[in-house]
Structure 1
Amino acid sequence: MKKQIHNLKILESRRKYLRSHLTPAEAFLWRHLQKSQLAGRKFRRQHSITYFIVDFYCPSEKLIVELDGHYHQNPDVAEYDAYRTEKLNELGFNVIRFENKMVFDFLPSVLNEIEDNFKKE
């Protein structure tokens, strides 16, 4: 039997909390990703894969989009982010990261880069 790695029950309340408390950058980007607005791809927000809760996940592309605020500039946090990315890559997911400021200042470029990470048909 295949081991479940998506949306483990143990993380359900944390996912719900994070969905109802999005950062301003997450809320802003979500308005452009929800309802399959970007190239018809469905995204989920605050989705868990194993014990990691990712900001945005596109199942059809196995693509994870992470937004990093000031907190992520801490060397310990940056090291953990790198570890997380490595583990998610090992599971076959592609992880891309943007600083929150990029989402607000260069949204079209951010959306283009996300699209550039879609598999070519």
Structure 2
Amino acid sequence: MARSLHNRKYLKGFRKELRNNPTKAESMLWKALQRRQLKGRKFRRQHSIQNYIVDFYCSEEQLIVELDGAVHHNMVNEQYDLKRAQELRRLGFKLLRFENDTVFEQLDMVLEAISAAFGKREDAR
């Protein structure tokens, strides 16, 4: 994957601000993903790909995990999210979306769904 797709400099400040001000759902999921806790996969938070900042990204799996709160539930944002998802998939990324409430109420199921999206390999852990 071309390096120029990832972490463009002009988005650095936005990425940092998002990392420093996570939603409660992002914080909860990050605690389960950080430090290779999920089957030895490394995740990054607030990683940019092209002009998009994604919530969580695993480069080894080319996997993006997005969390949706109330702000995503209107026609304008739904259309934007659809276009964004299509573009990221066109670039070869796998994309999973979860509602914030699902993270709070069924974290184990979210982690299982993320694990199920991994390719086959011997896990480091």
TM range (shorter): over 0.9
* Aligned counterpart, 1:67: 67
Q: Which amino acid counterpart does residue 119 of structure 2 have in structure 1?
A: K
Counting only pairs closer than 5 Å after superposition, residues 17-96 of structure 1 correspond to structure 2 as: 17-96=17-96
What secondary structure is seen at the aligned counterpart in 2 of 1:45?
Answer: strand
- Percentage of pairs with the same residue: 52
Classify the secondary structure of the residue corresponding to 2:4.
coil
The residue aligned with 1:117 is 117
Q: Measured at CA, do residues 3 and 116 of structure 1 come closer, stay the same or move farther in structure 2, by a change above 3 Å?
A: closer
Q: Which runs of 4+ in 1 moved over 2 A?
A: none
SS of equivalent to 1:19:
helix
- Segments of structure 2 that go 5 or more residues without pairing to the other structure are none
Instruction: Number of aligned residue pairs: give it.
Output: 120
Question: Shift of the alpha carbon at 1:66?
Answer: 0.1
Give the distance between the partners of 2:93 and 2:3, measured in 1 at CA.
16
Query: Aligned to 1:119, what secondary structure does the other structure show?
Result: coil
Deviation at 1:3, TM superposition (A): 5.8
Q: Residues 116, 3 of structure 1: CA spacing in aligned structure 2 closer, same or farther, 3 A cutoff?
A: closer
Give me the whole-angstrom Cα distance separating, in 1, the residues matched to 2:33 and 2:13: 23
- SS state at 1:120 partner: coil
**How does the TM-score come out when normalised to structure 1?**
0.97
Normalising by structure 2, what TM-score? 0.94
Deviation at 1:120, TM superposition (A): 1.9
Give the RMSD, CA atoms, in angstroms. Answer: 0.9
Code of the aligned partner of 1:51: N
Looking at structure 1, the residues matched to 42 and 105 of structure 2 have their Cα atoms a distance apart, in angstroms, of: 24
